[in-house]
Amino acid sequence: MSRLRQFLPGIAIIVLLIAAWWLIVVTTRSVIFPTPWQVVTGTVELIRDGTLWMHIGASLGRVGAGFFLALAVALPLGLWMGWQRGAYDTLNPLFQILRPISPIAWIPIAILWFGVGNASPIYLIFISSVFPMVVQTVAGVHTIEKRYLRAAENFGVSRYKLFTQVVIPAVLPQIIVGMRIGLGVAWLVVVAAEMIALRSGLGYLIIDSRNAGNRYDLVIAGMIIIGLIGLMLDGLMRLLEGLKMVRWRYAH
Amino acid sequence: MPIKIDVANLRKSFSTDKGTLTVVDDVSLQVGDGEFIAIVGPSGCGKSTLMRMMAGFIPPDSGRVLIDGAVRTQPGPQGILISQHGSVFPWLTVQENLMFGLNAVESTAEKIAIADHYANIVGLKGFEGAYPHELSGGMLKRVEIARALAVKPAILYMDEPFSALDALMSLRMRNELLKILGQERHTVLLITHDVEEAIHLADRIMVLSPRPTRIQATFDVKMPHPRKLTSPEVQQLRQAILKELGVEAED
């Protein structure tokens, strides 16, 4: 019951917004802006002809590829930069310059290097999610409490054991935070990237619906689906925060 | 009793913004094998620095630390340091923590057996699979002690080990430590600001002077265990130590 009460205001505001939207479209007799019901029927149409799953699958596939590629690079790189002062001093200035560049600004270069196939959006996702994950991992290594390193030194463990049982688990909560940020940015970027020149994906769906006969019901359907999937992806990442071996960090 | 720890003319200073700060000034002491030494001193007098030099974590400016006649230059499993805030790994279970230091043991089954044995000794049976954040402060201390004992260290360096616990739990942990030391003899160096704790546990008590610290007085504690803390002998000794520390006890 208390959970219901917690969610009620959030649901109420969404219902209220939809009602207002409906009312305004009806009273202004807009011919181009759809009512909520038209968005629903548009969505059903997309589900029936199977294109919705195809677009969702294409977007998720690109995000998955770019994100995991970024993770595979960011983890070792972040650990190395965090542990070796020299690596940090060498690479950090470069990263601090590259990091604020919006992934959207990379689009022309991505097209130049990778063409208009799948590789371009995957590269853009890689670029957008690799930096937050590196930064969080480095910060995680830098904030490991000295008493844990001292204890490891005291017990005389090997370098391998030091990393697998002390450094990596100590940084894991920060890595998960980085993954959440990285995946969030990746999802933002894939939609933008797909608006350029591909023939599939939710970004393409939105642009194509507008270009091919001002189907604004499908534009809004696409937007809502993007929002819902983004929420789900973040929910998945939050499941990682529930792992017992990282709970110590989030408990307080 | 053979000499376990032989410290001679230990000195340490740190450079600060305001110049050189001498923290430890010419400390020499000897600890016999299996002896329990308590070091008491005013806060900020350099107790922890002295302890860390003896455990090999920081090098002295001059002087030397001999363990079993050999110069100690770095920390190792033969001397485990237990500090106030503890260093039980929060990402490992109790059992994994206890197995952490067992590098010399080959088989996992044997490691688990040793870990469970020491969990049992400190009264953590049934908590092997628990994570540290699921435990109370007193239980965490037990994990810390058990993890140290599991590697069978010749020396236990204890730096205010119980001062983060409440008075009742601190007293209980002292009794348990004595019980454990009755079963497995270790050489113990305890740093504390709690005079009563020192008298309760130690065979010999050294009083340190304010910074730069040196040994100001030494007291032998000859009373047999279990010691009654309310006895007149204990009270007399307590007053004598407090007087050395510059605190005149009332009554």
A230, A172 Cβ separation under 8 angstroms = no
Q: A251 burial class (0-12, 13-18, 19+ CB within 10 angstroms)? A: exposed
At B7, the pLDDT band (50, 70, 90 cuts) reads very high
Q: Which of B42, B75, B38, B77 is nearest to B178 (CA)?
A: B38
* pLDDT of amino acid A113: 94
- Residue B146, domain extent: 79-152
At B250, the pLDDT band (50, 70, 90 cuts) reads low
Both B218 and B183 in one domain: the answer is yes
Q: Of A195-209, B2-16, B21-35, B180-194, give the lowest mean pLDDT range.
A: A195-209
At A6, the pLDDT band (50, 70, 90 cuts) reads confident
Both B56 and B26 in one domain: the answer is yes
Averaged pLDDT, B212-229: 88
Averaged pLDDT, A58-65: 95
- How does pLDDT run across A85-109, given as a tens digit for each residue? 999 999 999 999 998 999 889 989 9
Find the CATH number of the domain harbouring B45.
3.40.50.300
B85 contacts in chain A (CB < 8 Å) = 147
Is residue B89 within 8 angstroms of chain A, CB to CB?
A: yes
Neighbour tally for B183: CB within 10 Å: 8
- Rounded (10°) angle between helices A202-211 and A168-197: 20
Averaged pLDDT, A201-206: 91
Torsional class of B160: left (φ above 0), alpha (ψ -120 to 50), beta (otherwise): left
* pLDDT of amino acid A166: 95
* HSE, side-chain direction, 13 A CA sphere, residue B163: 17
At B249, the pLDDT band (50, 70, 90 cuts) reads low
Query: What residue spans define the domains of chain A?
Result: 1-30, 34-250
Reported pTM: 0.84
Both B21 and B145 in one domain: the answer is no
Both B90 and B49 in one domain: the answer is no
The residue with greater pLDDT, B169 or A179, is A179
Averaged pLDDT, B178-189: 90
Please check whether residue B30 lies inside any domain of the structure.
yes
Both B221 and B110 in one domain: the answer is no
Cβ distance of A148 and B87 shorter than 8 Å: yes
Cβ distance of B89 and A150 shorter than 8 Å: no
Both B202 and B249 in one domain: the answer is yes
At B213, the pLDDT band (50, 70, 90 cuts) reads confident
Averaged pLDDT, A167-187: 94
Separation between Cα atoms, residue A89 and residue A94, nearest integer Å: 10
Separation between Cα atoms, residue A21 and residue A90, nearest integer Å: 53
Averaged pLDDT, B142-156: 91
* B166 DSSP assignment: -
* B224 DSSP assignment: P
Both B84 and B148 in one domain: the answer is yes
Rounding to the nearest 10 degrees, give the CA dihedral for residues A90, A95, A96, A101.
Answer: 160
A202, A225 Cβ separation under 8 angstroms = yes
Please check whether residue B73 lies inside any domain of the structure.
no
- pLDDT above 60 for A179: yes
Number of domains in chain B: 2
* pLDDT of amino acid B109: 93
A242 contacts in chain B (CB < 8 Å) = none
Both B190 and B134 in one domain: the answer is no
Pick among B48, B87, B127 to test the A interface (most A CBs inside 10 A): B87
B189, B158 Cβ separation under 8 angstroms = yes
Separation between Cα atoms, residue A2 and residue A24, nearest integer Å: 34
Cβ distance of A156 and B103 shorter than 8 Å: yes
Averaged pLDDT, B235-250: 84
Please check whether residue B209 lies inside any domain of the structure.
yes
- pLDDT above 90 for A245: no
- How does pLDDT run across B28-56, given as a tens digit for each residue? 999 999 999 999 988 777 888 899 999 99
At A1, the pLDDT band (50, 70, 90 cuts) reads low
Say which of A154, A170, A246 has its CB closest to residue B75. Answer: A154
Q: Which of A163, A101, A108, A172 is nearest to A131 (CA)?
A: A101
Both B83 and B64 in one domain: the answer is no
Separation between Cα atoms, residue B139 and residue B118, nearest integer Å: 13
Please check whether residue B24 lies inside any domain of the structure.
yes
In chain A, % of residues over pLDDT 90: 73
In chain B, % of residues over pLDDT 70: 98
* pLDDT of amino acid B182: 87
At A196, the pLDDT band (50, 70, 90 cuts) reads confident
Both B106 and B134 in one domain: the answer is yes
* pLDDT of amino acid A251: 64
What CATH topology corresponds to A34-250? MetI-like fold (1.10.3720)
* pLDDT of amino acid B169: 85
Please check whether residue B165 lies inside any domain of the structure.
no
* pLDDT of amino acid B212: 85
* pLDDT of amino acid A197: 66
Please check whether residue B163 lies inside any domain of the structure.
no
Evaluate the omega torsion of the peptide bond into residue A100 and state whether it is cis, within 30 degrees of 0. no
Both B191 and B242 in one domain: the answer is yes
Average pLDDT score, chain A:
91
Please check whether residue B184 lies inside any domain of the structure.
yes
- pLDDT above 70 for A252: no
Pick among B51, B91, B143 to test the A interface (most A CBs inside 10 A): B91
Chain A residue whose CA is closest to B56: A154
The residue with greater pLDDT, B1 or B192, is B192
At B165, the pLDDT band (50, 70, 90 cuts) reads confident
B132 contacts in chain A (CB < 8 Å) = 248
Give the gap in angstroms from C-alpha B93 to the nearest C-alpha of chain A: 8
The residue with greater pLDDT, B106 or A145, is A145
Separation between Cα atoms, residue A123 and residue A196, nearest integer Å: 14
Phi, psi angles (nearest 5°) of residue A71: -65, -45
Averaged pLDDT, A230-235: 94
* B184 DSSP assignment: S
- How does pLDDT run across B65-100, given as a tens digit for each residue? 999 988 888 899 999 999 888 899 999 999 999 999
Separation between Cα atoms, residue A8 and residue A35, nearest integer Å: 24
Interface of chain A against chain B, CB under 8 Å?
147-148, 150-151, 153-158, 161, 165-166, 169-170, 172, 244-249, 251
